Structure formats: C-alpha cells, structure tokens
C-alpha cells in the first residue's frame, strides 16, 4: 500500500503557523519567569516550562542548551530593565543631587509597581544553589549600586557632593531602601514604608552629603554628562560580605 505524499501546501501552512525562533525563545523566557514567581526556583522544571508554552520538553532544547541557560537568560531579561531606567532617569539635566533624586524615584517606582518581580531577584540570589545563578544576580545588584556610586562621584567633581563621601556606602543606602520597600509591600506594610517616605530619606541623605558648592555646580573639572552602562562581566576582587562587594564596585569604577 503506497503512502500518500504530504501536501506541500498544507505542510507549508503548518510551518507558517509556528512562532519564529526569536518569538518562541521569548515565550519560553516569559513562561520561566512566571513559573519562578509561582513555584520558586526549585519548582521551575523543564516540564512545567514546556507545558506553559505548549510544547514538548525536547523542543525546549532547540532553543536552549539546558535549564540553567533558560533560567539565566530569563533573569537577565528581568534584571536589565532597572539599569535602563536608572540610566534614562540620570539623564543630563540638573545637578547631581537632582539627578540622584530622579534616579531614586524611578527605581522605587519600579520595585513598587510590581514588587513580585523585585522580590524574585532577591529570592533567587539567596536561594539558588547554583553558583553561576547566584553570581549572575550578584553582578546585577552590583550594577545597580555602581550606577548610583558613579553619579555620586560625578557630584564630587561638580562640587555638589562632599569630597570625603564614601560613594559606595551612599549608593548602598539608596539600594537598601528599595529592598525595604519591596518587603514592606509584600507583608502588607506598604502604607507604613511608602515610596514618599523612602524618597524623603534619600533627600535627607543628600542634604547631609552636599558639599560647600551645593547645587551651584562649582568644581575643578566638568564631569561627563551621561553615565555609561556598567561593563558586563567586569568583576573586581573576590570576597564575601560587604567588604568583598565594596571591592568589586570600586574595582569596576576603576
């Protein structure tokens, strides 16, 4: 019994209905992020990812080598948005304290609009057993801190920030408020620690660290007008705890 040849027009029609490779990758990454929010990192299995996308498990490996690569790219997609927002908010207009206020407001808006996204980054960094995943997220948090730290350094040149300011510590103070905002929102204390109160704390911080020139823009050298995005993979000295993180940030600044 001869087998009927497949109709090329029907086959072509089915092929055209399939999402393109890039679109399918995006679907897989979005499904992965949604499952991580619902099930945590440990509960994010390739079976669940495939089921959510509507494909078979083997089909995942046409787009990614393994589960870790899927998770790393999904977290990269989630974590790069704050950097883009911070660089855009920093802009070129105004003095450094004014620009830091804009950056802080933008960053706090990001974590408050969808605290589950921000919490996911915190949870994965602390719960991940795979060092590659932990390190990837550590790099992102260092990037966020570096953007603020670089802006404070510009303030030293501008004359609007004290010359003796430890810019890394100041940057971490702003980041710590963002972390506190996320947790307050998720445990029902969003009306106690609000975005407005966090920004008030940033303003008080800026008032304490402003140099003699204040907002007059007096300094020895004209600073760059726009911050550059942190260089990917530019790791500094090794070490754990705050001192190790400070070394990494300072090494990146250099």
Let me know if residue 118 belongs to a domain: yes
State pLDDT tens for residues 82-131: 899 999 999 989 999 999 999 999 999 988 887 788 888 877 877 778 88
User: Concatenated DSSP letters for 158-186?
Assistant: HTSS-TT--HHHHHHHHHHHHHHHHHHHH
- Domain span at residue 40 reads 19-64
State pLDDT tens for residues 196-213: 999 999 999 999 888 654
Let me know if residue 6 belongs to a domain: no
Nearest residue to 177 via CA among 241, 65, 67, 100: 100
Phi, psi (deg, nearest 5) at residue 93 = -90, 140
pLDDT of residue 252: 58
Share of the chain above pLDDT 70, in %: 75
Let me know if residue 10 belongs to a domain: no
Q: What is the pTM of this model?
A: 0.72
Distance CA 29, CA 21 (A): 12
**Residue 236 pLDDT exceeds 70:** no
Let me know if residue 101 belongs to a domain: yes
Nearest residue to 83 via CA among 146, 133, 36: 146
Same domain, 137 and 85: yes
**Residue 237 pLDDT exceeds 70:** no
Same domain, 120 and 35: no
pLDDT of residue 220: 44
State pLDDT tens for residues 129-159: 888 888 888 888 899 999 999 999 999 998 8
Domain count, the chain: 2
Let me know if residue 9 belongs to a domain: no
pLDDT of residue 115: 79
CATH of the domain at 49: 1.10.10.60
Let me know if residue 71 belongs to a domain: no
Same domain, 35 and 91: no
pLDDT: which is higher, 192 or 47: 47
* C-alpha of 98 from chain center: 22
Same domain, 231 and 112: yes
Same domain, 119 and 204: yes
């Amino acid at each position: 019994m001869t087998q009927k040849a497949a109709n090329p027009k029907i086959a072509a029609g089915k092929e055209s209905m399939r999402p393109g490779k890039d679109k399918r990758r995006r679907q897989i990454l979005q499904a992965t992020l949604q499952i991580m929010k619902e099930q945590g990192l440990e509960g994010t299995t390739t079976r669940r990812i495939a089921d959510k996308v509507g494909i078979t498990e083997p089909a995942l490996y046409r787009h990614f080598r393994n589960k870790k690569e899927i998770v790393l790219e999904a977290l990269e997609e989630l974590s790069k948005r704050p950097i883009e927002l911070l660089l855009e908010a920093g802009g070129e207009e105004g003095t450094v304290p004014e620009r830091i206020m804009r950056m802080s407001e933008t960053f706090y808006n990001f974590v408050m609009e969808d605290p589950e996204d921000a919490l996911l980054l915190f949870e994965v960094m602390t719960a991940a057993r795979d060092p590659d995943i932990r390190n990837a997220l550590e790099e992102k948090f260092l990037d966020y801190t570096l953007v603020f730290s670089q802006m404070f350094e510009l303030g030293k040149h501008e004359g609007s920030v004290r010359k003796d300011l430890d810019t890394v510590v100041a940057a971490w103070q702003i980041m710590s408020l963002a972390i506190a905002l996320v947790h307050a929102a998720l445990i029902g204390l969003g009306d106690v620690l609000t975005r407005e109160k966090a920004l008030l704390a940033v303003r008080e911080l800026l008032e304490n660290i402003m140099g003699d020139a204040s907002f007059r823009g007096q300094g020895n050298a004209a600073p760059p007008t726009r911050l550059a995005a942190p260089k990917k993979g530019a790791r500094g000295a090794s070490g754990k705890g705050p001192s190790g993180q400070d070394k990494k940030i300072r090494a990146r600044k250099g």
